[in-house]
Amino acid sequence: MQRLYFLSRRGELPLKIARVFQADFPEIELRYLYSSRWAWRPAAYGRWCRELWDDLMDRRFPMDLRELLNVLGLGLGGTGIADDFLAHFSREHDTEAMFEWLSRPAVADAINQSLAERRKLVLAYLEQEGLWEKTRIGMVDDGWSGRGQRDLRWLLQGREDAPELQGFFLGLGGYRLPGGECGPQHVFLDYDREGSVPGSPIRLLIWRNHMLEDPFLCGSEGRCQGYRRIGIRIVPMLADGWEGWGLTVVKVWHETVQYFARMFINMATSETVELMTRLSLENTAIFLRFPCAEWVQCFWGIDVSADLMGASRLPMIKRMSLREVAREQNWAGSEVLLGRCVSYWPEGSLAISGKWVKVLALAKRHGWKWVLGRTLQG
């Protein structure tokens, strides 16, 4: 690699870690790039189409309709298209009917005009940040689906001098795009490689990927919503506030991880790296499966985004009632609809809940016969 681009928010801490190791790789340049899936994806498609709509309406992540209209560049007021849309539809309506309404010629033309303008702005920002200056570049991100790499690849290929793009990800899930769409990928937590094995800690870590993103990859800035031109510069537009932890907590956590990285670089050998990797995966999986109440106190009041645009929030942990644990459906993993869950991390919620709630949860998971057997065994 000649240059690595660390994508904003989730790439903030990995960039700081990489700088600790950069002395051993002086030929690789490190840069920070403001991005988000909905700052790039509409521009990557560049036109209104079924594929863009399917991306927008991912069934696992319900999107707020006002955010949807902003993504499509329709906004509120102005032409009145957005107001008419909201008068016709709510989130409970059939998505096929919404697609047909938005595909009417006058509405589709307005969307296409907005997407074309957004594409020009995104391409100008990427050129400003030097993405066509090198022949081999990499993007570093949390990952999970590979769509971000695909989007960037499409944007870069709009010119003949497109560089070779490779992706470096914390993880990719079983719902990842085919590699041919994205380009070469390098993955730490790979569902296809190890995560599909029942009982594998990597399987659990990919299912609970928000636990890795929100606590471990917490950042100090708001989400990038797009770009705007100020003078001759293209600058990111960041959401007011930011998601997750307090700024003091973020600062202390980043300093702690960098301290560990500096210690690690002085003692790492191939044997210690392999051992520490195995231990870290097992320890994290144990923490996620069987936390005690004392361990999860720091997650009080922390929410995760239950949709792609941050419009819906879900508690990381919550003290559950018997009724809530009876309808909790987040035990199975990544296919669950997060918008219908009591909390993101049910095991953490169980750790701070009452005794009978725990009994009901164990019965729901393993059956009453198993609970009775465990009780008789003491």
Which pLDDT score, from 0 to 100, does residue 261 have?
92
pLDDT digits (tens, 9 = 90+) for 136-192: 999 999 988 899 999 999 999 988 899 999 999 999 988 888 878 899 999 999 988
pLDDT higher than threshold 90 for residue 5 = yes
Structure tokens at 204: 């659990």
* Dist CA 177 CA 191 (whole Å): 12
pLDDT digits (tens, 9 = 90+) for 37-79: 888 999 999 999 999 988 887 766 666 788 888 888 887 555 6
Would you tell me which CATH number, out of the four given (3.30.70, 3.40.50, 2.60.40, 3.10.590), belongs to the domain 3-42+119-251? 3.40.50
* Dist CA 34 CA 219 (whole Å): 13
* Dist CA 281 CA 276 (whole Å): 8
What is the pTM for the complete model shown? 0.88
Q: Name residue 230's beta-bridge partners.
A: 233
CA R_g for the chain? 22
For the segment 275-288, the average pLDDT, to the nearest whole number, is: 88
pLDDT digits (tens, 9 = 90+) for 286-319: 888 889 888 888 888 888 776 555 556 788 888 9
217 residue type, one letter:
L
